[in-house]
Amino acid sequence: MILVWFTGMAALALFTGLAWALAPLEPGVVALQSAFTPSSFAALVDAWPPEHLAMYRAHLPVDGLLLACYGSFGYLLAKRSAIFARRSPAARVAARWALPLAAVFDATENVLHWWLIEASRPAVPWPYVLSAACSGLKWALLMGYAIAVVGALKRAAG
C-alpha cells in the first residue's frame, strides 16, 4: 500500500503545484482543453502574452509526471486495496483501468497541445477536435473514477 500512497500523494502535490503555477493564465487551461476548432483554440492561445505561453509550454513535461502518477495511483488503488472488493469482476477491471486510460487521453491531449501552440498551427480541424475529445474523455474517466470510489466507500461503510 506504500506505493498507492506514494503515487496518490505525488499526484496531489503535482496537481496542486501545476494549478498554482497556471493560475495566472487567463483564459484558463480548461478553456483551452475545450477548444474544438482552430479559431477557438487560436483565440485562447493568442490572448496569452508570450510569458504565459512559455509558462504553458513549460508545464507540459511536469503534467506528464502528473498523469503517470494519477494513472498509477488509480490502477494500484483498484488492484491493491479492498475498496472495490465487493464489486463485480467487471467493475473491478473497469476501476483498475479507468485512470490509466485517462492518462493516455491526457498524454494525447498534451502532445497535440504541444504541437498546436506553435506559431504554424494547422487550419484543419481534426487535431483540435481530437485534442478536445481526449480532454473530455479524460475528465469523464477522472470523474467516473471519483464517483466509483465514493460509491465503493459508501458500500463498504454501510
Which of 36, 43, 38, 34 is CA-nearest to residue 123?
Answer: 38
Which of 147, 127, 125 is CA-nearest to residue 135?
Answer: 127
Q: Provide the whole-model pTM.
A: 0.94
Q: Is the dihedral of CA 143, 148, 149, 153 positive or negative?
A: positive
Predicted confidence at residue 109, as pLDDT, reads 97
Q: Which letter does DSSP use for residue 117 in this model?
A: T
Residues of the chain short of pLDDT 70, as ranges, are: 119
Which of 98, 82, 81 is CA-nearest to residue 90?
Answer: 98
Predicted confidence at residue 120, as pLDDT, reads 73
Predicted confidence at residue 135, as pLDDT, reads 98
Are 70 and 4 within 8 A, CB to CB?
no
Q: What is the distance between the alpha carbons of residues 58 and 48, in angstroms, rounded to a whole number?
A: 14
Are 29 and 22 within 8 A, CB to CB?
yes
Predicted confidence at residue 155, as pLDDT, reads 84
Q: What is the distance between the alpha carbons of residues 157 and 115, in angstroms, rounded to a whole number?
A: 47
Using the structure block, give the residue that is written with the C-alpha cell 467493475: 91
Q: What is the per-residue pLDDT across 111-132, written as a single tens digit (0 to 9) for each?
A: 999 999 986 777 889 999 999 9
Phi/psi of residue 9, nearest 5 degrees? -70, -35
Q: What is the distance between the alpha carbons of residues 109 and 99, in angstroms, rounded to a whole number?
A: 15
